[in-house]
Structure 1
Amino acid sequence: MTQMFDIARRLSNRPLALVRTEVDLLAAALRGEALAPQAVFGQPAERERQYGLIDGVAIIPVRGVLFQGAGGCSWATGYDWIRRGFLAALSDSEVRAIVLDIDSPGGEVAGCFDLADTIHASRGIKPIASILSESAYSAAYALASSADPGRLSVPRTGGTGSIGVIWMHVDWSKALSDFGLAVSFITYGARKADGHAEIPLSKEARERFQADVDMMGDLFVTTVARNRNLSAAQVRDTEAATFLGQKGVDLGLADAVLAPDAAFLSLLDELG
Structure 2
Amino acid sequence: MNLQTELAGRPWALHRETFESLIRSTNAAGPGIKLPAQPSRKRVEGGVAIIEIAGPITPRASILSMLFGGTDLQTIQYELDSALADSSVKKIMLNIDSPGGAVAGISEMGDRIYASRSVKPIEAFVSGMGASAAYWLAAATSRIVVSDTAMVGSIGVVGTVVDDRVRQGMEGIIFHEIVSSTAPKKRPDPSTQEGRAVLQDGIDSLASVFTAKVATYRGVSENKVISDFGQGGVLIGIAAVRAGMADRIGTFESVVGSPGAVPVPAVAATGQPQAALSVEDSCAAQWRNDPKIRAEFSSLESFTAYTRAAHAGHARITTGRVVSGR
Scaled by the length of structure 1, what TM-score is found? 0.81
CA, structure 1 residues 227+81, in 2 after alignment: closer, same or farther (shift >3 Å)?
same
User: Which of 152, 156, 161 is 1:164 aligned to?
Assistant: 156
* Alignment-derived partner of residue 256 in structure 2: 264
Paired with 2:185 and 2:18, the residues of 1 have a C-alpha distance of 27
CA, structure 1 residues 120+200, in 2 after alignment: closer, same or farther (shift >3 Å)?
closer
* Alignment-derived partner of residue 69 in structure 1: 60
SS of corresponding position for 2:7? strand
* Alignment-derived partner of residue 210 in structure 1: 200
Paired with 1:70 and 1:168, the residues of 2 have a C-alpha distance of 22
Provide the identity percentage: 30
SS of corresponding position for 1:133? strand
Paired with 1:187 and 1:120, the residues of 2 have a C-alpha distance of 41
CA contact (8 A) 2:146 2:246 kept: yes
The one-letter amino acid of 1:24's match is T
User: Which of 225, 230, 240 is 2:215 aligned to?
Assistant: 225
Shift of 1:192: 6.7
Does residue 173 of structure 2 align to residue 181 of structure 1? yes
Paired with 2:10 and 2:192, the residues of 1 have a C-alpha distance of 23
* Alignment-derived partner of residue 139 in structure 2: 145
Paired with 1:146 and 1:86, the residues of 2 have a C-alpha distance of 13
Paired with 2:173 and 2:128, the residues of 1 have a C-alpha distance of 46
User: Which of 173, 187, 194 is 1:194 aligned to?
Assistant: 187
The one-letter amino acid of 1:88's match is S
Paired with 1:121 and 1:28, the residues of 2 have a C-alpha distance of 30
CA contact (8 A) 1:131 1:264 kept: no
Q: Unpaired runs of 5+ in structure 1?
A: 1-8, 39-46
* Alignment-derived partner of residue 122 in structure 1: 116
Kindly provide the CA deviation profile for residues 25-53 of structure 1, in whole angstroms up to 9, marking residues without a partner as x. 353354479x8986xxxxxxxx5x65111
SS of corresponding position for 2:161? coil
Paired with 1:228 and 1:157, the residues of 2 have a C-alpha distance of 21
Paired with 2:21 and 2:43, the residues of 1 have a C-alpha distance of 28
Shift of 1:84: 1.4
CA, structure 1 residues 266+63, in 2 after alignment: closer, same or farther (shift >3 Å)?
same
* Alignment-derived partner of residue 44 in structure 2: 53
The one-letter amino acid of 2:97's match is D
Alignment of 1:19-58 (within 5 A): 19-21=9-11, 22=16, 24-28=18-22, 30-31=25-26, 47=39, 51-58=42-49
Shift of 1:233: 0.6
CA contact (8 A) 2:59 2:105 kept: yes
The one-letter amino acid of 2:94's match is L
User: Which of 4, 24, 29 is 1:14 aligned to?
Assistant: 4
Paired with 2:72 and 2:20, the residues of 1 have a C-alpha distance of 11
CA contact (8 A) 1:69 1:80 kept: yes
- RMSD of aligned alpha carbons: 2.9
Scaled by the length of structure 2, what TM-score is found? 0.68
CA contact (8 A) 1:194 1:202 kept: no
Paired with 1:240 and 1:200, the residues of 2 have a C-alpha distance of 22
SS of corresponding position for 2:258? helix
Shift of 1:200: 5.8
Paired with 1:64 and 1:93, the residues of 2 have a C-alpha distance of 29
CA contact (8 A) 1:185 1:193 kept: no
User: Which of 95, 107, 113 is 1:101 aligned to?
Assistant: 95
CA contact (8 A) 2:37 2:74 kept: no
Paired with 1:92 and 1:246, the residues of 2 have a C-alpha distance of 34
CA contact (8 A) 1:25 1:76 kept: no
Structure with the larger RCO, 1 or 2 (CA within 8 Å, 6+ apart): 1
Kindly provide the CA deviation profile for residues 172-225 of structure 1, in whole angstroms up to 9, marking residues without a partner as x. 111211222222223334537615xxx764333221121111111111111111
CA contact (8 A) 2:190 2:199 kept: no
Q: Unpaired runs of 5+ in structure 2?
A: 261-306, 312-316, 318-326
